[in-house]
Every structure is written in structure tokens, then in C-alpha cells.
Structure 1
Amino acid sequence: MTIAPDDAQQSASHLYRTMRGFVQSMDDTLPGKFEITREGIVHDMMSPGGPHEVTAAHISRRLEKVMPDELLAHNGTPDVEDEPEGIMRHPDVMVIAWTDLDTEASVDPRSVIAAIEVVSRSNPDNDWVGKMRDYPLIGIPVFAVFDPRTGTGAVLTDIHSTPDGPRYATRKDFVYGEDVTIGEWTISTENLPRYRSR
């Protein structure tokens, strides 16, 4: 059977809407967070509180001290969604203008100035692989990763075209204790918590 391009696009759109409905129905039912990637649904079993949430709160607060008042380092809802690409993600922190956050739907990823992720102990590949692939695809210009497992991180910028789709061209690695620049703003990474050994 041959599927015409329009049929394939409608089928992909239907599949995405089905996954989105499932994710919305599960959000308040199961712990962790659900996101949609090109490969399907990702369920990150992050535990509330602890180093993950404390790191996100520190990053948000430190950024807001150096950013202009019209911007926010937001670590709540809503999701960032690009339905044509079939991607719905939920950054741990997103730098966005207050006016662009004022929506009852998901946030347009092209309005996000920077997305920041704190690596989950349960699913580190979601941040280091999946989001590193998805965020340039949906047009987020700056992606910062903080990894409490290792006390390291990276800031990725400069989206460029590759045979596998848009990717970040520039990666600046850092270790906890150094200052890190995210977009136009530099913050300290001193005293960020680490995951304890199990």
C-alpha cells in the first residue's frame, strides 16, 4: 500500500494528537513527567524535590537576578509544543518573555529564549540525547544542561543544518563551581547540589 504525502501527514498528526491526549490524561495520575518526541512518549520518573528541583530553583533565581524585568526564568507549566514536528517537551527552566508566557495553550518553542534541563538520575539520555536533538529541531536557540550526577554541564548554541536535521554547532562545557553564560546572562554554578550515591 502506498501512502500519499498528505495521508502520511494526516496520519502523523492523528498519532501525535492521540499521544498528546494520553499524556494529558496521565499527567495527574502517575508520578514523573511525560513528554512527546519523534520516537514516541518519554516518561521521566524524576522524584519531586531533592537535587533536581533545588538545582532548577537555584538556576531560575540566579538568572532572574541578572535578566531584565520583562523576562522570566520560568520553572512551571505549560509545555513547549511544536505540533507539526510532533514534539511536546517540558523544560525544567525556560527563559521567556512574560508576554509570550501569557497563553492558555502550550508555549510556542520559537518564543523560548533558552531551555535549561537538570539531568534526571532515572533517564539521563532524555536530556543529553533526546532534548539535544529535539530543541534545535523546534527552534530553541540556547540549550543548557546541568548534570547533578557528575557536577558538570554544557551550553549549546548556534543552530545549523545537518543531514540529520538542525543541530547545535557550538558546545561549551562547564564544571560546577565555574560561572556559566546562558544566552546573554552569566550566573554562578557554586553550591549546586549533587545526587548522592545510592
Structure 2
Amino acid sequence: MTIAPDSERRGADHVYRAMRDLIESMDDTVPGKFEITKEGIVHDMAAPVGPHELTVLGLRKRLEKVMPEEIVAHTEPDVEDEPEGILRRPDVMVIAEADMEDGGSFDPRTLIAAIEVVSRSNPDNDWVGKTRDYPLLGLPVYAVFDPRTGTGAVLTDIHSTPDGPRYATRKDFVYGEDVTIGDWTISSENLPLYGD
């Protein structure tokens, strides 16, 4: 039996909607955060306090000091591309305040940058999965801060590859160096590390 493309797309839409409904029902009852990727649901058990959240807070504050008033560093947003079947929740997203007015999930193509603080429980989600998904969603800048190692990277310059859109440029850094995210440079000095 052959499935026509329209039927296949409706099936994919149905599966995505079912996954979306499932994670919405679990958001307030199960700790951590849930995201939807091309491979299915990802559960990240990021601790609600400690080095992860202190890093998120520090990055947001540092960015907002150097960005113009109409640009914000927003935390815990939903970024969704329903046709692609992807829902991600960056730790910090850089976006124009005017692009936040519609409510609901944000269109990933309105973001200036996405920033992730690597989770101790699922580092591949940030280093592998989001490195694949964010260029697919059209996010021009993806910055990763890793409290496990005191290192990170800023990925830019989306280009086409046989495996789909990917970032062409990766600039690695170690904590203590200045980091440029989009048009703004912040210090990564004194960001907390995960303890043993």
C-alpha cells in the first residue's frame, strides 16, 4: 500500500500534535523540561537551582546590559516549528521585544540567537540534537555554555549540506574569555561550574 504525500503529512501532523499534547500534560507534574525533535520527545532533567540556573541568569543579565532596550534575553520560551515537527525550549533566547507580542510559542525565525547551558543529565541534547535542529529552524546564532568543562562554542553561518542545514562556523571558547553572540560581546568570566 502506498501512502500519498498529503496523507503522510497529515499522519505526521497527528503524531506531532499527540506528542505536543503529551508534553503539555506532563509539564506541571514531571520535573525537568520536555522538547520534541525529529527523533521524538527529549526529557531534560536540568536542576531547577544551582550552576545551571545561575549560568542562565548570569548570561541573561550580561546580555541585557549590552543590548539595545528593544532587544531582550528571554528565558524558558517555547520555540516551535509545527510543520517541521520540532518544539524546543532554549535556556535563553535573544529576540526583539516586538516579536514577542503574539503570545504562545515563538516562531524560531524571529529569534536573533538561542543560548543553551549544557545539562548534566543530557549533554547530547545541547551538543548534538540542538546543533542539528537549530539551523533547521533557521536560528542564525546558537551559543552553548558547558558548566561540566568550563568551555563552550558559538555556532553561526547556516549553510546547506546533504544532511540538511548546518552551521558552517564554530568558535570555541573557555570560560573567562569574551564571547560574541550576534552583535554583542559578553564576558564568560566567573560563570559557575558543576561540582563533582
Normalised-by-shorter TM-score class: over 0.9
CA offsets 1:45-99 (integer angstroms, 9 cap, x no match): 111010000001000000000000000011133x000000000000000000111
Alpha-carbon distance, 1:2 to partner:
1.1
Structure 2 Cα separation of the partners of residues 192 and 66 of structure 1: 17
Structure 2 Cα separation of the partners of residues 9 and 57 of structure 1: 39
CA offsets 1:123-171 (integer angstroms, 9 cap, x no match): 0000000000000001000000000000000000000000000000000
Structure 1 Cα separation of the partners of residues 4 and 55 of structure 2: 47
Aligned residues: 196
Q: Displaced runs of 4+ in structure 1, greater than 3 A?
A: none
Match of 2:72 in 1: 72
TM-score, normalised on structure 2? 0.99
Structure 2 Cα separation of the partners of residues 12 and 75 of structure 1: 29
Q: 1:186 is matched by which residue type in structure 2?
A: T
Match of 1:5 in 2: 5
Q: 2:159 is matched by which residue type in structure 1?
A: H
Structure 1 Cα separation of the partners of residues 118 and 9 of structure 2: 33
Matches within 5 A, 1:120-131: 120-131=119-130
Structure 2 Cα separation of the partners of residues 42 and 96 of structure 1: 24
CA offsets 1:26-63 (integer angstroms, 9 cap, x no match): 00010000000000000001110100000010000000
Structure 1 Cα separation of the partners of residues 141 and 153 of structure 2: 11
Identity %: 74
Match of 1:53 in 2: 53
Unaligned runs of 5+ in 2: none
Match of 2:163 in 1: 164
Structure 2 Cα separation of the partners of residues 155 and 104 of structure 1: 28
Structure 2 Cα separation of the partners of residues 113 and 47 of structure 1: 26
Match of 2:172 in 1: 173
Alpha-carbon distance, 1:103 to partner:
2.4
Match of 1:24 in 2: 24
1:113 partner SS:
strand
1:195 partner SS:
coil
Q: 1:88 is matched by which residue type in structure 2?
A: L
